Structure 1
Amino acid sequence: MTRFLIPVSVFCLFLIEGTWFEILFPQENESGWVWMPRFALIGVVLTSIYRGPVAGVWAGIFVGFLYDFTYTQILGVYTFCFGFIAYVSSYSLPVIRNSYGWQWLIIFCALFVFELLIYFIYFLLGIAELSFGEFLVKRMIASWLINGAAALLLLVPFRRIFEWIEDQEKIRQR
């Protein structure tokens, strides 16, 4: 039962960013900013930090497939980017598991690299709609604001989930 907790949690974050978030922050707004929620990416990065590269990459591939099939016409871009970010963010020191500040910084950097990867892949394919300057101003800043705040809200619940899973694994090993 506990092995399904991580995929279900990340899938719920995917659903929240695709449904509730669209109602609260519609794409058409006066500021011109494009709000891009990446709550599932936050869940994938936290999975990588707490459970290691294998669990993180599998969670990233799972969410990447969901993104590719739901939102894009080009399959594999989000799958690659989610898996890559999960792999890179998984190699962390044990001190990072105990510090919310370090976890938030890793999530913040992962969001930056993820958005840049997506933009540059689409730019190379000739699909990018924004220039790089517009991308930084209209999309990256808004993405950092909303996802940075979401990361702060998700750090404690995810840590408790992972600690509970570790406790359950210890009990099963006895």
Structure 2
Amino acid sequence: MKKFLLPLLFIFIFIFESIFVQSLPAEVFHGERILVPHFLIIAILFLTLYGDSKQGILYGLSFGLLFDVVYTEVLGIYLFLFPLIAYICAKIMRILQTNIVVVSIISLLGVALLELGVYEMNFLINKTDMSFSFYAQYRLLPTLILNLTFIILFSYPLKRLSEKYVAYLNKEK
């Protein structure tokens, strides 16, 4: 049963992101700001940084594909970016001390990389005509603030869950 706890949690977070977007009233920011929850990549990064990096990259690959199939018109953006960001963050953490503040900052950096990567890809294939300054002010900054709030609220539970899951997998071997 414990083996299925983390995949079920990730599926719940995947579904919760869309529920969160639908339930957040647009009038909160007078319709100007765009808030994009990236709770799933944060959970993947916590698994990668506190747990097994291979497991985190595999979760990034599988949920990146799922994210592309369900939410995007261009297949491959999240399939490529989720595991790449997990890999980059895992490499960064080899030089840094693994504590909750550093992991939270690296996770926020991962969210910023994801947002910038998606923006640049959409800009390259002419899916958006938004200027970078407009994008940074009205989408990137509010998105980072929203995801920082999520990190502050859920960093400790995600840390504990990732550590317990990896301990369970190591005990099972």
The normalised TM-score by structure 2 is: 0.88
For 2:45, the equivalent position in structure 1 comes to 45
Aligned-partner residue type, residue 105 of structure 1: I
Structure 1: stretches of 5+ with no match in the other structure? none
For 2:65, the equivalent position in structure 1 comes to 65
- The alpha-carbon deviation at position 95 of structure 1 amounts to 6.2
For 1:102, the equivalent position in structure 2 comes to 102
What secondary structure is seen at the aligned counterpart in 2 of 1:19? Answer: helix
Any idea what the Cα deviations from partners look like across 1:148-170, whole Å, max 9, x if unmatched? Answer: 01011121111111232244345
For 1:34, the equivalent position in structure 2 comes to 34
Moved more, 138-147 or 47-56: 47-56
Any idea what the Cα deviations from partners look like across 1:99-120, whole Å, max 9, x if unmatched? Answer: 1110111011111111111111
Relative distance call for 1:129 and 1:140 in structure 2 (3 A) is same
Q: Percent identity?
A: 23
Aligned-partner residue type, residue 38 of structure 2: R
Structure 1: how far apart are the matches of 2:169 and 2:38?
29
Relative distance call for 1:164 and 1:94 in structure 2 (3 A) is farther
Structure 2: stretches of 5+ with no match in the other structure? none
Any idea what the Cα deviations from partners look like across 1:126-151, whole Å, max 9, x if unmatched? Answer: 11241111110000011011000101
The normalised TM-score by structure 1 is: 0.88
| Count of paired positions | 172
- The alpha-carbon deviation at position 54 of structure 1 amounts to 1.4
- The alpha-carbon deviation at position 19 of structure 1 amounts to 0.9
Aligned-partner residue type, residue 158 of structure 1: L
- The answer on whether the counterparts of 1:6 and 1:47 sit within 8 Å (CA) in structure 2 is no
Relative distance call for 1:110 and 1:171 in structure 2 (3 A) is closer
Aligned residue runs from structure 1 range 12-23, under 5 A: 12-23=12-23
Aligned-partner residue type, residue 77 of structure 1: I
Structure 2: how far apart are the matches of 1:28 and 1:165?
37
Which of 1 and 2 has higher RCO (CA within 8 Å, sep 6+)?
2
Structure 2: how far apart are the matches of 1:113 and 1:147?
13
Aligned-partner residue type, residue 161 of structure 2: I
For 1:126, the equivalent position in structure 2 comes to 126
- The answer on whether the counterparts of 2:6 and 2:165 sit within 8 Å (CA) in structure 1 is no
